[in-house]
Amino acid sequence: SLELNSVSFQYSANSKNILNNISISIQKGSRVGIIGKTGSGKSTLTDIIMGLLEPSTGNLLVDGQVLDKNNLHSWRAHISHVPQDIFLTDSSIKENIAFGERPDQIDYDRVVLAAKRAQIQDTIEQWDKKYETNVGERGAVLSGGQKQRVGIARALYRKSNFIILDEATSSLDSNTENYVMDAIEGLSKELTLVIVYHRMSTLKYLSLIHIWR
């Protein structure tokens, strides 16, 4: 579980607080939505959750332990951040899912399992070269929602069990909404998911955190 205790944050000493006294608890296996207007501090909050930014006041507890220098590294090993527009390298979909792994060390079965769980395997199976299909710059063209599912597959291949999906407000369309909800519903209950979203209606399955400013 993850707990934020009275977390406030300001980017510099003289600027105003971006986050004000936020206390939330995220249980393992839960699906949590973070909603707020553009510029309200959603990405800042996810950066704090990931340990990329340190709270100005307050703290984070991971399984009851204060997050500090000693456990930051192991906490971060559990987390993956999936932006809508993930970075695809100009290589095969297999290598893109097993991102960061040496090509000769890729566990093919794990790639397929990750793709299945992220609900992107049907798309991949339709391609002539399947998992060897080149994606990225000159490869197969993927929609925003499909890219995001590749990002989820990447997180699952890495064995992350805490996944943060950050939706860029500007690039949302109604299909993406459904893609993302499908992907989320199909994922294991062992995974904790935090979804940053701008619209409330689609998040009916989630517990919500509103950020007001």
Token pair of 174, please?
């109604």
71's CB contacts (< 8 A; 6+ apart) are 62, 65
Choices 12-20, 36-44, 149-157, 184-192; region in contact with Mg ion by CB under 5 A = 36-44
Q: How far is the CB of 42 from ligand ATP (least distance, A)?
A: 3
Q: How far is the CB of 172 from ligand ATP (least distance, A)?
A: 10
Q: Which is nearer to Mg ion, 78 or 198 (CB)?
A: 198
Q: Is 202 in the site for Mg ion (CB under 5 A)?
A: no
Q: Which is nearer to ligand ATP, 39 or 103 (CB)?
A: 39
Closest CA to 89 of 100, 81, 79, 73: 100
* Beta strand pairing call for 2-9 and 19-26: antiparallel
Q: Which is nearer to ligand ATP, 17 or 123 (CB)?
A: 17
Q: Is 43 in the site for Mg ion (CB under 5 A)?
A: yes
C-alpha to C-alpha distance for 130 and 125, rounded to whole angstroms: 5
In which region does residue 119 sit, left (phi positive, over 0), alpha (psi from -120 to 50) or beta (all else)? left
Q: Is 121 in the site for Mg ion (CB under 5 A)?
A: no
Choices 13-21, 42-50, 129-137, 144-152; region in contact with Mg ion by CB under 5 A = 42-50
The pair phi, psi for residue 75, each rounded to 5°, is -60, -45
Q: Which is nearer to Mg ion, 120 or 164 (CB)?
A: 164
